[in-house]
Amino acid sequence: MSAKSVSIGICGLGTVGSGTFNVLRENAALIAARAGVSVQVTHVGARRDNADCDLSGIRVSRDIFQVADDPQVTILVELIGGTMTARELVERAIRAGKHVVTANKALIAEHGNALFALANAHGVEVRYEAAIAGGVPIVKALREGLAGNRIEWLAGIINGTANFILTEMRDKGRDFADVLVEAQALGYAEADPSFDVEGTDAAHKLVILASLAFGMPLQFESVYTEGITRLEPQDVAYARELGYSIKHLGIAKQNGAGVELRVHPTLIPHRRLLANVDGVKNAILVEGDAVGPTLYYGAGAGSRPTASAVVADLIDLARATAFNDVRGLPSLGIERSELRDLPIVDMENVDTPWYLRMEAEDRPGVLSRVASLFSDQGISIEALIQKAPVYGETLVSVIVLTNRARQGNVDAAVGEIERLDCITGKVVRIRVEELDG
């Protein structure tokens, strides 16, 4: 084997940084055998040491920018998180002619277009396998493994915290707020959980997946995002009775009108593999025109799973660097000149089946009035179910499952329904996806 070595600088020594440092060290011989070259961390930039990492013999800087300026470092690993300093750091590394590996989905989703252009101008690469679904090699699958396919759609469980909460709500009939407190105690959710439960984190990941799948620049501002905070246990239970699980999905779909980019709670049939992806795990279902449906599953976060993805990128780049690959892979898996700004479909025109629940007075004629309002909008109904009234209550839950219907039509029908005097409060609306591509 080659006696060569590639020098790595790691910035950030938190959860993922320490995992990466330790995986590179523990599996050093195996990694060298796979890369064809030794992959050595020579410089660590971190505000403080981490007791999990033995930094002896390694240059340590409190100022992370010193890693970007270190001429010995060939590949800089950005694991500090955030978008302001991280962006400055990555730009400085690129300008210094270094390849960059990052786990930072916010950075790539929000600033990827500029960073990729800069990297291209400097003849270096930015890799980000770890930014989506932790250690699951989904970026590589879309960029290379399925490269012969026109990707038609993808749907993913790409936030482990939200999936943990939904799994507990379904399996134990618990409230959102109650499970959230437990998720925080377990370290799955941050003190400020809004990033996870409002869907921003999933939106970051979705926009990257969509760009890889469809060959378009990143369009973070175009993602429709709806969180899980308002989900009620009774809807989780009713969905279950009807043969569905509610999952928080990121969905990207390409059709004649453009691209749909949306993150929202979704009813999916129990028997689908995605419905059986529970707890903090992630999975992405991808439909290609040649391959049909494929699915990728694994840990979506955590120190060592995320490190696995960072190290995979490092091995690719180390091999390319050591053996003089003169031209790397394009950042989004497609030549820059071939990227196309595809139109994003307005949510009003997105077409899905729907689960709707309303609270109605328990008297004759209610169902027929509701049904006729759907019919007026051209919406056909798959099932209309009136639950037995709870003892002592005068209101009953009415559940409607529709066939595919434009959101615009559903909005109109729901507006009329909410004006009926036999209906109390707002209509609960959750999209359905059959995922039977």
Q: Which residues are catalytic?
A: 205
Token output for 313: 């990128």
Residues 333-362 touching a copy of itself, rule: CB under 8 A, are 333-335, 337-338
Q: Give 229 or 294: the residue with its C-beta nearer to a copy of itself.
A: 294
Q: By CB under 8 A, which span of 76-84, 92-100, 129-137, 409-417 interacts with a copy of itself?
A: 129-137
Binding of residue 117 to a copy of itself (CB under 8 A): no
Radius of gyration of the chain measured on its C-alpha atoms: 24
Residue 233: Cβ-neighbour burial (10 angstroms; 0-12, 13-18, 19+): middle
Pick from 308, 321, 377, 407: which binds a copy of itself (CB under 8 A)?
A: 308
Token output for 171: 């399996």
Show the site string, 4-23: x = touches a copy of itself by CB under 8 A, - = not: ---------------x---x
Binding of residue 73 to a copy of itself (CB under 8 A): no
Token output for 271: 């028997």
Please answer whether residues 110 and 220 qualify as being in contact, where contact means their C-beta atoms are separated by less than 8 angstroms. yes
Binding of residue 30 to a copy of itself (CB under 8 A): yes
Please answer whether residues 107 and 90 qualify as being in contact, where contact means their C-beta atoms are separated by less than 8 angstroms. yes
Binding of residue 33 to a copy of itself (CB under 8 A): yes
Dist. CA 349–CA 397, nearest whole Å: 28
Q: Give 259 or 417: the residue with its C-beta nearer to a copy of itself.
A: 259
Q: What does 38-60 look like in DSSP terms, one character per residue?
A: EEEEEEEE-SS--TTS--TTSEE
Binding of residue 316 to a copy of itself (CB under 8 A): yes
Binding of residue 401 to a copy of itself (CB under 8 A): no
Pick from 25, 47, 62, 271: which binds a copy of itself (CB under 8 A)?
A: 271
Q: By CB under 8 A, which span of 25-33, 372-380, 397-405, 423-431 interacts with a copy of itself?
A: 25-33
Number of residues that bind a copy of itself (CB under 8 A): 70
Pick from 73, 307, 379, 413: which binds a copy of itself (CB under 8 A)?
A: 307
Dist. CA 63–CA 66, nearest whole Å: 6
- Nearest distance from C-beta of residue 59 to a copy of itself, angstroms: 22
Please answer whether residues 125 and 102 qualify as being in contact, where contact means their C-beta atoms are separated by less than 8 angstroms. no
Non-local CB neighbours of 397 within 8 Å, separated by 6+ positions: 234, 238, 357, 358, 359, 360, 386, 387
Residue 355: Cβ-neighbour burial (10 angstroms; 0-12, 13-18, 19+): buried
Binding of residue 329 to a copy of itself (CB under 8 A): yes
Residue that the structure tokens 């003089």 belong to? 324
Binding of residue 277 to a copy of itself (CB under 8 A): yes
Which spans of this chain sit near a copy of itself (rule: CB under 8 A)?
1, 19, 23-24, 26-27, 30-31, 33-36, 129, 134-137, 140-141, 144-150, 215, 271, 273, 276-277, 283, 288-299, 302, 304-305, 307-312, 314-316, 319-320, 323-327, 329-330, 333-335, 337-338
